Amino acid sequence: MKFASYHISPHIKQSLDELGFKRPTDIQFKAIPSILKGEDVLAIAQTGTGKTAAFAIPVIDILLRRKQREPQGLKCIVMVPTHELAIQISGVFDSIAKHTDIRTVGIFGGVAQDPQIMALKDGADVVVATPGRLFDLASQGHINLREVEILILDEADHMLDLGFYNDIRDLIKRLPRERQTLFFSATISEKIKDLAYSIVRNAIRIQISPKDPVSKNIDHSVMFVSMDDKRFFLERLINENPDTRILVFVRTKVRAERVAAAMERVKIKTITMHGGKEQADRLNVMKAFKEGEVNVLIATDVSARGVHIDNVDFVVNYDLPDKEENYVHRVGRTGRGNKSGNAVSFCSEEEKPMLKLIEKYLHNPIKVLEVAKDDYKETLLFTEDTNDNWKLLMREAEKEMNNPKFKKPGKKNKRK
């Protein structure tokens, strides 16, 4: 079935065609009809399956139809865990509603609230918000939650991980009891179930969970590399894949800056994204990466669910994640929707226990990229890092010493 066959506004179809959306993904195919009918939905789907469009397309169509017969006003709230995700989802709504008068406003902390308040005063049909800032503006009277007809919780599991459970419960108390609720999560747990079933009513349950939780569009593999040698292999991967967009994940903000400094020494331009940056800086970083000003982004897990960039060619797990489920969220930044992608993990000896946990979580072993001993040595030797050029000099000296024509000093020819 194609989007052209759906009973939705021709203005939405025009936008979808311009965006290159021809056929729905599995989650879109299963969720859109139920949402259009006004049913509550509880959806469990892995990262990169097209969840945002699965609720944005039908919600925009519903609001368009209602707007023709009802007064304007805020009708839909989308709650998300991070600033970056609020920006990304607002952008998706704007793109799909491009040829309509549906207006979306992103609300999130870390920046001044006055511009957001002004945007709300100009009128909003949809608000995409993080719980904290949404709660603040609602408490100040800038958002009227009593007129909301549709509530969407996206990445609900991540919101709980970040400690937003009480914020979500408090906000729900302010919403009308009669509403449509859409609950989307990448994983399911007892706490997720408790929250979900306390806010949805007779929900249609949709679960897109193949045996391998990594999308079939992603070719993912692992390479065994010493911790100290990872920077050389990252340098080689970037140089062998010029003009590609590469997202590199590390464990900590300190590691992010150190890896960026190592790449700078070899004349590779990168940018970093982590919790130590101010929100304005993070927005600038996202803009630079999204628009292709810089093709290599080094990030911590704060960005694993907040980076929704089209055409990320490679995800590199420079460090394996601290939690096995984060592996899925990381590699899910590539191969999104119907596109293909690549992911490679550098695994050191001390990280092998985590690799086993990841493979157990995936229910499958990860394909191993075998590196021949000579290839490994060459990667270390032919670096542009001036701090390590001595290795190449030593290797060349060793070759010279082994050359039969080389005359060792201090030895004289014996007289006959």
Cα–Cα dist 100/61, whole Å: 10
Specify the DSSP class assigned to residue 322: S
Helices and strands per DSSP (H, E), number in the chain: 16, 14
How many other CB atoms are found less than 10 A from the CB of residue 275?
Answer: 12
- Of 328, 85, 39, 50, nearest in space to 187 by CA: 328
Domain spans of the chain, in order of start? 3-208, 218-393
Q: Residue holding tokens 């810089």?
A: 294
Cα–Cα dist 252/323, whole Å: 13
Cα–Cα dist 275/313, whole Å: 24
Q: The CATH number of 218-393 is which of 3.50.50.60, 3.20.190.10, 3.40.50.300, 3.30.565.10?
A: 3.40.50.300
CB 382 within 8 A of CB 396: no
Quick check: do 3-208 and 218-393 share a fold?
A: yes
Q: What does 202-265 look like in DSSP terms, one character per residue? A: SPEEEEE--SSSS-TTEEEEEEE--GGGHHHHHHHHHHHSTT--EEEE-SSHHHHHHHHHHHHH
| C-alpha R_g of the chain | 26
How many other CB atoms are found less than 10 A from the CB of residue 359?
Answer: 15
Cα–Cα dist 347/353, whole Å: 10
Q: What pLDDT sits at residue 283? A: 80
Q: Residue holding tokens 């600038």?
A: 284
Give the domain 3-208 fold: Rossmann fold (3.40.50)
Per-residue pLDDT of the chain (416 residues; tens, 9 = 90+): 789 889 999 999 999 999 989 899 889 999 999 999 999 999 988 766 788 999 999 999 999 998 877 767 899 999 998 888 898 899 999 999 999 999 999 999 878 899 999 999 998 999 999 988 998 999 899 998 988 999 999 988 878 777 788 888 888 888 998 999 999 987 777 878 888 888 888 899 998 765 567 878 899 999 999 999 999 999 999 999 998 999 999 999 899 999 999 999 999 999 998 878 877 788 888 889 988 899 999 999 865 555 667 789 999 999 999 988 889 888 988 987 678 899 999 999 999 999 999 999 888 899 999 999 999 988 888 887 766 555 555 555 555 555 555 555 444 444 44
One-letter amino acid of 44: I
- 187 Cβ neighbours under 8 A, 6+ residues apart: 44, 157, 325
Whats the size of the chain, residue-wise? 416
Cα–Cα dist 165/192, whole Å: 10
Q: What does 271-313 look like in DSSP terms, one character per residue? A: EEE-TTS-HHHHHHHHHHHHTTS-SEEEE-GGGTTT---TT--
Q: What pLDDT sits at residue 211? A: 58
Q: What pLDDT sits at residue 404? A: 59
Q: What pLDDT sits at residue 75? A: 94
How many other CB atoms are found less than 10 A from the CB of residue 410?
Answer: 4
